[in-house]
Amino acid sequence: MSNFPEITDSHCHLDFPDFEGQLEDIIARAADVGVTRMVTICTKLRNEPSVRAIAEDHAPVFYAAGTHPMSAADEPMATVEQLVAMAQHPKMVGIGETGLDYHYTADSKDVQQTSLRIHIEAARQTGLPLIIHSRDADDDMARILSEEHAQSGFGCVMHCYSSGPELAKRMLDLGFYLSMSGIAAFPRSQEVRDIFAAAPLDRILVETDAPYLAPPPFRGKRNEPAYTEKTARVGADVFGVTYPEFAAQTQQNFQRLFSKATLAVSAA
């Protein structure tokens, strides 16, 4: 058993080719540094069976499913009914990732917004948290999430948060969570660290977004769930607490938002 405090990688992509044939070793390396739970994210619903199988085959792994905004125009439009049906699986613990990305795919913004609203309704109906990807779309993201939340509430995490301070404030005011990725550990990311430092610690999650965005000293290499520990140590410094304190608080935060994962572990 690891001597490290337990933490959760709240967002990774274990079905990507980068990890093929290596999952046993990857999960073992994560456990060695205290990363005892991870949520692998399905970004195209046609891949949901393979993502689900990873969660079924590995006790520490849970999953979420949705259509990534950059794929929204190229994939069949998800339906609320489809997402709700998938969510009946005991290890599916979130809806998404969904959201808005205008960096490369602004030409599909209308389709992205339609897809986002569908995912929001599925989150409402299932009670599962919404997992949001947002890039270069702060105004529309704030508007849509605020409009929808005013109609009826839902839980939400802004995954891999690296947008501006105003969007962060508006999301926190809605009761949402911000997730800290390896970006927050990059030397030139002081603005991102300042945004997190201004947020309540009880609204922070940690993630890798593996295989992307590896934190130092692995930057430029393939990321993996074990490296959550490196980002979390930066998070502890940002909030001025010890690493065990930060790990414990982010565990509580994850379990509050992703309560189905906690219930599944309790029932096992």
Residue ranges in the chain whose pLDDT is less than 70: 1, 264-268
pTM: 0.96
In the chain the domains, ranked by start, together with CATH numbers, are 7-267 (3.20.20.140)
pLDDT of residue 1: 56
DSSP-assigned letter for residue 91: T
Helix (H, G, I), strand (E, B) or coil at 93: strand
Contact 225, 211 (CB under 8 A): no
Place of tokens 């993630």: 207
Q: Which residues contact 6 (CB under 8 A, 6 or more apart)?
A: 34, 35, 36, 37, 247, 251
Cα 79 from chain centre: 21
Identify the bridge partners of residue 94 per DSSP, sorted by sequence position: 64
What is the model's pLDDT at position 216? Answer: 96
Instruction: Count how many Cα atoms sit within 13 Å of the Cα of residue 230 in the half-sphere of its side chain.
Output: 20
The reported pLDDT for the residue numbered 263 is 72
Looking at residue 268, its pLDDT comes to 47
Q: Report the alpha-carbon distance of residue 159 to residue 11 in Å, rounded.
A: 8
Instruction: Give residues with Cβ within 8 angstroms of 53, minimum separation 6.
Output: none
Please state, as a whole number, how many other Cβ atoms lie within 10 Å of the Cβ of residue 60. Answer: 17
